[in-house]
Amino acid sequence: MEDEEVMKSLTISRKIFSPIYYGINTRQIIGVLVTQPKRQTHSNIQQRQEYVPVLTVSPKNALYDVRPTIRVEGLKPNKTITLKAQMVEDKGKLLYSNAHFIADKNGVVDVSSSPSLGGSYEGVFPSGLLSTLKIATGHFEFGNIYKNNMHEPIKVKISLQDGHQHIDSNEEELDGTELNRYMIAEGVQRIPIREGNIRGVLYIPNGEGPFPGVIDMFGAVGMLTESRAALNASRGIASLCLAYFSYEDLPVSRIRDLDLSYFEEALKFLLSRPNVISDRCGVIGNCFGGYLAYRMALHFNELKSVFIINATHNPFFADLKYKGKLIAKCPKSKDIVVSKGSDDTYMPTEWFNDSIATVTPSDVEAFEKTNDDQHFMVTIGDEDCYQFHNGWLKFQEKLSNKKLKNFSLKIYRKAGHIIHPPYSPFSSVVFAQLWQSDPRLNKGVLCKFGGQVKETIHMQEDVWKLIPDFIISHVVKTK
């Protein structure tokens, strides 16, 4: 009896769990079971994921002094890559740089925060790809960022390569884009100046004005360096980029016979412009241009903001006159400014560095006589081969407490001599013309100007922030 009950329950169970009992075709079930995909685990998904790297540069179109963000996303975690920058300057020379990176756990490389492991620089350097651009063959010239047409952008190609590549590698790029860096903003006027004795270019900001004005001069390299004037005008400062020798009909020999009357004429010209503040302005100068800016301010009270970059207050190259009268006598050994070293590069002589560090009672007396509303900002790199900071430190020590309020000295550690607008290609050795009696130097030689790349770029950035604030605060009258 018990055996019959057990057999009966087994029969019922088979019916309940049998597909045939419910009228279902067993082949359909088998087919469904065969074609149903297996459940995907996280590890399976990660193994089958495709990585598509995307290189972005932002902003792609901007003024030259704006640092772009360069970023790569969509990389496999810990992926090794190379970022490469290439630029062709106006004379047709190729400049390039590269940097090696490893993607983070999210597959991202951000140049502003990711360290470079090799290439043109190492460590975290947000502007590194731009600041370490090097001439592919030959040497840098002072004109490496000059533009024949200031309204056209400087184009920089940024490309992404697989692995850590040599700078000359032709490895196929995974992605690429182009950066357009403009020297001049839309609406800024560029006006070549040939009026009276004055030669240069005037940049007027977009708008009605009146704008604060500034006279802008670079060192004793001849030609005209317009980049700073164009960018300052793009930020609202009317800028007269002033030539003073070796430009158009101004002869090379003129640097040996400079008279402040020329600069006074330029000052009056700038103040006479209808859209420029008419009774006061500023002056900016590098190297010999900074020396001239300082001398101008001692004689012309209209100069309220005097911004000096890597320059001395002492005469060099030549004597300086005003209305034909000698006002600054250059030391007798004026031709012995540089000498050739064992590596075939030229550096300032010990005599030169000693002479520019001299501070006489008459130097201090002349500064003490400047007006109380004239302000001086001196910015110096302490690894500039022209050791200008030694003289300015002595100068500052001798000033009265009253005049110290009008004088600011800022020294930048490990920064060099050449201070262009920010994110310009850096080099401590440059091919330059030195306007001296030796004709070999006039044709151009390799010169050392000193400085470390990151520290010099830091000085570029900081000086660039200081200039508009300093000029505007002392030129624009506040009620």
Catalytically active residues are: 287, 384, 417
User: Is residue 74 exposed (0-12), middle (13-18) or buried (19+ Cβ within 10 Å)?
Assistant: middle
**Cβ 246 vs Cβ 218: under 8 Å:** no
User: With contact defined as beta carbons under 8 Å apart, do 384 and 451 qualify?
Assistant: yes
Q: How far apart are CA 295 and CA 297, in angstroms?
A: 5
Q: How far is CA 355 from the centre of its chain?
A: 31
**Which residues are CB-neighbours of 301 under 8 A, at least 6 positions away?**
370, 371, 374
